Amino acid sequence: MPARIQPVILCGGSGTRLWPTSRTSLPKQFVPLLGPHSTFQQTLLRLQGPLFARPIVVANRDHRCLVEKQAAAIDAGVTLLLEPERRDSGPAILAACTLVAREDPEAVVLVLPSDHIVTEPRAFRRAVASALPAARAGRLVTFGIEADHASTEYGWIRPGTRVEARCHAVHTFAEKPDAARAATYLSDRWLWNSGNFLMRADTLCAEYAAFDPDTAAAAALAVEAAADEGGALALDAEGFAGTHKTSLDFAVMEKTSRAAVARMRCGWSDVGNWNALWAISERDDLGNVSRGAAELFDTEGCFVSSDGMVTSLVGVRDLVVVAEKDAILVADRSRCGDVRKMVEILRSKGRPQAEWHASSHRPWGSYRVLEASDGFQVKRITVAPGGRLSLQKHRHRAEHWVVVRGCARVTVDDTVADYRERASTSSSRSAPSTASRIPATTMSN
């Protein structure tokens, strides 16, 4: 039986065009954009079955707990490869292929972004299987999506001569075009560049070394000096810093003679902005998408999502309204590509909402700051089953804990006690304290 395909899932994106739902602290790949699962979880679910080996997930340390929690929630085992910093897709893919090639140089690697949506997973798996002969023969296969409109949001690929039963050589890679050029590409049956790849690990490493030997050497050093961190493999920071920050397309695919493209039609979207999400979502008779606590009257073609706050639209057309607990976006649906510019404005003004959600995720659970001012801070803390906060000592504040739901085991100094709902306890300044045990929601100030 042929060796199984080795998936590599890239989790490094930030998804600023889906702000305020997607932010640095909780990027779009970890958000359930379409259905109950996040796009990262959907990617893992697409890789179930005998065709695929245990996925390697490339992520940064800040998102480790999100990767582990979301994988565990769907019973998906993963191998976690931690980047010390984001260096774009090229070094991330190269490091993963270098790691794979140490065990099996001829292993076929399937590289997938974690923030794409595929509504027809069976068609996706068929397309991958059909491209296997080309990849095993040494081709670097990229998957081209059969275009249904003249998009200016994607790069395009012009297929060349046939090289395998299901693959063509790549004649041309083109960056995101203007509207007129996109119409020409559509008419000439060019394909959208999906950013999904299938290739042998050793082939990718060899081609990278040919076009960027410095990055290839640095990535090899980062893998060779990688350290185990509680079950995850952390790339060496000094070695990884020596790689050039660039995409795989620019580093290798646009230069190599081995590039091939396989057609794919599987209900694919990179969900690049709110308008793209509106386009693939189920809409009512007036073309509206409504989620959460939203009410609409005499409204057409709108996308509205509310995380708790009652959000009402009256007599408007073609708007995106996204209400989070600490930030609200209102945008013309045709201008969703400019949301990224607004995020940059917020960053320049030092607005924490540009990067951070009110809720922060930790390995033991999460917390949300409810209110803060001079001299006090109120948090809602949710502890997951088996979770335990780290033992902390605060020199400048005392704490008061109230158990709102469940049961908490609280340690203050050397005293350990269990507290049920409505019970409370306190810790003085400099007193070590922690909480743990069964799912509990607590508040501290």
> What region does 410 belong to: left with phi over 0, alpha with psi -120 to 50, or beta?
beta
CATH (residue range 6-269): 3.90.550.10
User: Which residues are registered as beta bridge partners of 130?
Assistant: none
pLDDT of residue 343: 97
What is the rounded average pLDDT of the residues 32-38?
Answer: 95
146 phi and psi angles, rounded to 5 deg: -65, 115
Burial status of residue 93 (CB atoms within 10 A of its CB: 0-12, 13-18, 19 or more): buried
What is the rounded average pLDDT of the residues 241-269?
Answer: 97
**pLDDT classification of 2: cutoffs 50, 70, 90:** low
C-alpha 44/C-alpha 73 separation (Å) is: 11
pLDDT at 436 over 70: no
Contacts of 276 (CB under 8 A, 6+ apart): 153, 269, 270, 336
pLDDT of residue 442: 47
Q: Are 219 and 225 in contact (CB under 8 A)?
A: no
Report the b/e string of 355-378 with b at 16+ CB within 10 A.
Answer: eebbbebbebbbbbeeeeeeeeee
pLDDT of residue 411: 81
The pTM for the full model equals: 0.89
pLDDT of residue 394: 67
CA atoms within 13 A on the CB side of 266: 23
Q: Which position has the token pair 């230069």?
A: 255
pLDDT digits (tens, 9 = 90+) for 74-126: 999 999 999 999 999 999 999 999 999 999 999 999 999 999 999 999 999 99
What is the rounded average pLDDT of the residues 373-393?
Answer: 80
Range(s) within the chain of domains with CATH label 2.60.120.10? 364-444
pLDDT at 366 over 70: yes
What is the rounded average pLDDT of the residues 230-255?
Answer: 97
Cis status, amide bond into 363, omega within 30 of 0: no
CATH (residue range 364-444): 2.60.120.10
Enter the tokens of residue 400: 């008061």
C-alpha 335/C-alpha 348 separation (Å) is: 21
Distance of CA 32 to the CA centre of its chain: 11
**pLDDT classification of 404: cutoffs 50, 70, 90:** confident
pLDDT of residue 431: 59
Q: What is the dihedral of CA 340, 342, 348, 351, to 10 degrees?
A: -110
What is the rounded average pLDDT of the residues 384-411?
Answer: 78
C-alpha 365/C-alpha 386 separation (Å) is: 10
C-alpha 133/C-alpha 166 separation (Å) is: 9
Contacts of 406 (CB under 8 A, 6+ apart): 383, 421, 438, 439, 440, 441
pLDDT of residue 437: 56
pLDDT of residue 89: 96
What is the rounded average pLDDT of the residues 30-45?
Answer: 96
pLDDT digits (tens, 9 = 90+) for 311-365: 999 999 999 999 999 999 999 999 999 999 999 999 999 999 999 888 777 777 8
Side chain identity at 88, as an amino acid letter?
Answer: D
C-alpha 189/C-alpha 178 separation (Å) is: 16
pLDDT of residue 364: 78
Q: Give DSSP secondary structure letters for 150-187.
A: --SSS-EEEEEEEEETTEEEEEEEE-S--HHHHHHHHH
pLDDT of residue 51: 94
pLDDT at 375 over 90: no
**pLDDT classification of 438: cutoffs 50, 70, 90:** low
C-alpha 441/C-alpha 384 separation (Å) is: 9
How far is residue 230 from each of residues 65, 80, 234, 386, measured CA to CA in Å? 12, 10, 10, 17
Range(s) within the chain of domains with CATH label 3.90.550.10? 6-269
pLDDT at 396 over 70: no
C-alpha 362/C-alpha 382 separation (Å) is: 10
What is the rounded average pLDDT of the residues 147-156?
Answer: 94
pLDDT digits (tens, 9 = 90+) for 47-84: 999 999 999 999 999 999 999 999 999 999 999 999 99
pLDDT digits (tens, 9 = 90+) for 180-198: 999 999 999 999 999 999 9
Q: Are 195 and 113 in contact (CB under 8 A)?
A: yes
**pLDDT classification of 422: cutoffs 50, 70, 90:** confident
- For residues 13 and 323, the model is more confident at 323
Which residue in 41, 5, 269, 268 sits closest to 130, CA to CA?
A: 5
